[in-house]
């Protein structure tokens, strides 16, 4: 073979031999470069269908182009022998670098994040490795990891031993054969199920464990013992020098059930990079005069002149924050902003407890990420954190993507604040926002690995501290469902009984619902209202069970829901056509209100566009003030802001031409200027209605 030509590749030397054939060093006589040529003889692939499928897989893999993947240049056949021409990678296999005590932690993290990046690239192009192992990973002298043999090892038969060669479960039968290297095989593959990208993540967990501990987590004297260990045993603890964050990532990769593992390689990459960043010893902090400013001053912007008793309307958009203040009759509005040009403002709050007048805003930039900022002078100056103030601890294996909710604690807990974030988690502050801590009882919940991202991500977006029970807090997660704690966050229970799921085989699971919003009135804290992904519900027993209240609404799909500040039976919603067409039904912009806890609903549309109004209103884009009568406000994805100062009877467009509105909140600064008596609630007879919801055919 040495000296022969395969096409225009001159074979120079034999590099090695493995379960799939011989590997040679060759010279490309056209492009004048050295390459690696893998030759598979006709005896290795005996069926024509197997040969064609191997060629198909190899050609698909050749479409991958990533710095951590060995590039395939050409796939061909000569005299019954298949050959694959690929990049010649100079370096050592990772298996040769791992000593008896494993690699240094930084090396494990650095190599692991590169491997995860390669898998993310391949999985995004529907290519699954199926035989990831330390001997298929080459580390170059520059520290770059190259993943070899994408999409090939699964297709080829080899000796059936427990050694470091590729094993198949039976003779080669083509695309449906079960292949891989036994100690790296996922449990579902051993059970005869078709492996997918999550099987690659299992193998990545094995590689990470091997690199960290210097040995494989599952082994045995025979193939049967090794298979049994993979199927039934837990991985032994890693050495004490391994940080908890890295161990947590490895454990999650090695969960037996695929649905409970990481679902994407990019998640593993982000988790490894988060631990890697936390593991690096930070340099000594520079002197205060050399650091960035602790506050940001917004100049050249018209600011509001806010007085005691004023109503404040806060509008978050994808490109900044706007503040509005009305006159005494709420007939004219002053506008300030935009603050934080180019930043998405997903969450807002006003804290008037303990004499404060503090605005809170979450800002999200594609460059700088998510930060929590505050202002004590209604927007003139804002805090400018030097590092993320809400962030996951290193041992969590997670990294912050967004802050979806800012929620004040109870009135008798003036220094307590909550934040709901993505990936779904709850943070709490006991010092008025100076420091934040992860609520581990929820983050470590056994349901968490099975929560699935909704359309907008895996977000904890609703937080309701119970006004009657000090240690009770409700949260809602998309798509995880509703949960409650009765012991200040130590433990959490799912409260979704009766809430329907339309996107999974089980219609009423314990958890996994895509809850869009929950509201509660302090006068009746045991009663909750819930807008689901398809479904309107009410609970009269603190979430223990839910009943359907979607009576004669045009659609029970929607996002926004607002509680009347003075009437515990009154709730406002804004229905959307469907999850496939997320706009107002029939192109008519209508707010719906119930004044009898969901027994009936009435449309409120006077002053709103009723033709061609294909608007979208998101979950936090509707709010009410606490005036008499109460004001109702909402913003649309088209950048329009509407308001009603008579509880929805009449509507007026307050602003237009804004960036897409994603958050609307209200506040009253101090006490009202003039005390007002509550409006007497009208007695409404329950009408006889016919339940005619719009549904999407499925």
Active centre residues (catalytic): 131
Quickly tell me which residue has 């982000």 as its tokens. 270
DSSP assignment string, 179-245: EE-GGG--HHHHTTPPP-HHHHHHHHHHHHHHHHHSS-SS--SSHHHHHHHHHHPPPPPPPTTS-HH
- Residues sharing a CB contact under 8 Å with residue 191, sequence separation 6 or more, in sequence order: 231
8 A C-beta contact, residue 155 and residue 49: no
Report the C-alpha gap between 564 and 227 in whole angstroms.
60
Closest CA to 35 of 23, 53, 50, 21: 23
DSSP assignment string, 624-676: E--SSSPPEEEE-TTS-EEEESSTTSS-EEEE-SPSPEEEEEEEE-SS-SS--
* Beta strands per DSSP E along 9-115: 9-18, 21-28, 33-40, 72-78, 81-87, 92-93
Helix, strand counts (H, E) of the chain: 9, 40
DSSP assignment string, 494-563: E--TT---SSSS-SS-SS---EEEEEEETTEEEEEEEEESS-EEEESSTTS--EE---S-S-SEEEEEEE
- Backbone phi, psi, residue 331, to 5°: -100, -20
Quickly tell me which residue has 């479960």 as its tokens. 169
Report the C-alpha gap between 266 and 271 in whole angstroms.
9
Report the C-alpha gap between 134 and 113 in whole angstroms.
14
Task: Report the alpha-carbon angle 124-127-129, nearest 5.
Answer: 120
Report the C-alpha gap between 82 and 36 in whole angstroms.
14
Closest CA to 394 of 261, 247, 264, 262: 247
Residue 433's Cβ-count burial label (10 Å; 0-12, 13-18, 19+) is buried
Beta-carbon neighbour count of residue 7 at 10 Å?
15
Report the C-alpha gap between 613 and 323 in whole angstroms.
25
């Amino acid at each position: 073979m040495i000296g022969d030509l395969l096409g225009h590749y001159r074979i120079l030397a034999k590099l090695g031999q493995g379960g799939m054939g011989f590997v040679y060093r060759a010279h490309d006589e056209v492009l004048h470069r050295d390459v690696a040529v893998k030759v598979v003889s006709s005896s290795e692939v005996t069926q024509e269908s197997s040969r064609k499928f191997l060629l198909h897989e190899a050609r698909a893999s050749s479409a991958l182009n990533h710095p951590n993947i060995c590039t395939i240049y050409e796939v061909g056949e000569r005299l019954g022998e298949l050959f694959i021409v690929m990049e010649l990678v100079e370096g050592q296999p990772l298996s040769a670098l791992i000593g008896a005590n494993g690699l240094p932690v930084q090396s494990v993290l650095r190599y692991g994040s590169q491997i995860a990046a390669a898998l993310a690239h391949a999985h995004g192009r529907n290519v699954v490795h199926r035989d990831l192992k330390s001997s298929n990973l080459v580390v170059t002298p520059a520290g770059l990891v190259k993943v070899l043999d994408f999409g090939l090892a699964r297709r080829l038969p080899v000796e059936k031993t427990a050694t470091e060669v590729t094993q198949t479960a039976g003779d080669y039968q083509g695309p449906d054969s079960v292949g891989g290297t036994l100690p790296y095989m996922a449990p579902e593959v051993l059970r005869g199920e078709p492996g997918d990208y999550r099987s690659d993540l299992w193998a990545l967990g094995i590689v990470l464990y091997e690199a960290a501990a210097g040995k494989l987590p599952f082994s045995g004297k025979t193939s049967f013992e090794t298979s049994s260990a993979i199927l039934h045993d837990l991985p032994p603890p890693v050495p004490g020098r391994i940080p908890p964050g890295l161990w947590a990532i490895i454990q999650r990769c090695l969960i037996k059930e695929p649905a409970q593992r990481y679902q994407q390689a990019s998640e593993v990459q982000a988790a490894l990079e988060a631990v890697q960043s936390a593991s690096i010893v930070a340099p000594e902090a520079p002197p205060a005069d050399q650091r960035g400013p602790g506050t940001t001053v917004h100049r050249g912007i018209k600011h509001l002149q806010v007085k005691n008793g004023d109503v404040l309307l806060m509008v978050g958009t994808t490109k900044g924050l706007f503040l509005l203040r009305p006159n005494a009759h709420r007939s004219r509005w002053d506008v300030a902003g935009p603050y934080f040009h180019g930043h998405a403002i997903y969450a807002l709050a006003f804290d008037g407890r303990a004499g404060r007048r503090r605005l809170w805003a979450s800002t999200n930039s594609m460059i700088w990420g998510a930060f929590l900022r505050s202002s004590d002078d209604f927007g003139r100056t804002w805090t400018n954190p030097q590092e993320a103030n809400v962030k996951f601890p290193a041992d969590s294996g997670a990294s912050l993507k967004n802050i979806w909710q800012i929620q004040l604690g109870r009135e008798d807990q003036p220094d307590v604040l909550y934040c709901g974030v993505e990936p779904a988690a709850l943070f709490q502050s006991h010092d008025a926002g100076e420091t934040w801590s992860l609520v581990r009882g929820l983050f470590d919940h056994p349901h968490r690995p099975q929560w699935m991202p909704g359309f907008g991500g895996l977000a904890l977006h609703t937080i309701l501290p119970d006004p009657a029970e000090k240690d009770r807090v409700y949260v809602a997660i998309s798509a995880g469902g509703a949960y409650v704690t009765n012991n200040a966050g130590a433990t959490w229970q799912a409260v979704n009984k009766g809430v329907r799921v339309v996107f999974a085989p089980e219609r009423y699971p314990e958890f996994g619902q895509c809850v869009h919003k929950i509201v509660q009135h302090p006068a009746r804290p045991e009663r909750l209202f819930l807008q689901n992904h398809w479904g309107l519900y009410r609970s009269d027993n603190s979430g223990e069970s839910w009943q359907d209240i979607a009576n004669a609404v045009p659609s029970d799909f929607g996002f926004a829901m607002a509680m009347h500040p003075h009437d515990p039976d009154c709730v406002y919603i804004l229905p959307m056509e469907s999850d496939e067409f997320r706009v107002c039904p029939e192109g008519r912009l209508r707010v719906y209100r119930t004044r009898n806890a969901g027994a009936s609903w009435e449309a409120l549309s006077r002053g709103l566009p009723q033709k061609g109004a294909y608007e979208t209103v998101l979950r936090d884009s509707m709010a009410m003030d606490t005036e008499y009568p109460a004001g109702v406000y909402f913003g649309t994805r088209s950048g329009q802001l509407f308001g009603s100062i008579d509880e929805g009877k009449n509507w007026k467009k307050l602003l237009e031409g804004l960036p897409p509105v994603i958050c609307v909140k209200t506040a009253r600064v101090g006490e009202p200027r003039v005390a007002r008596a509550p409006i007497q609630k009208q007695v409404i007879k329950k009408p006889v209605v016919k339940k005619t919801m719009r549904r999407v055919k499925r």
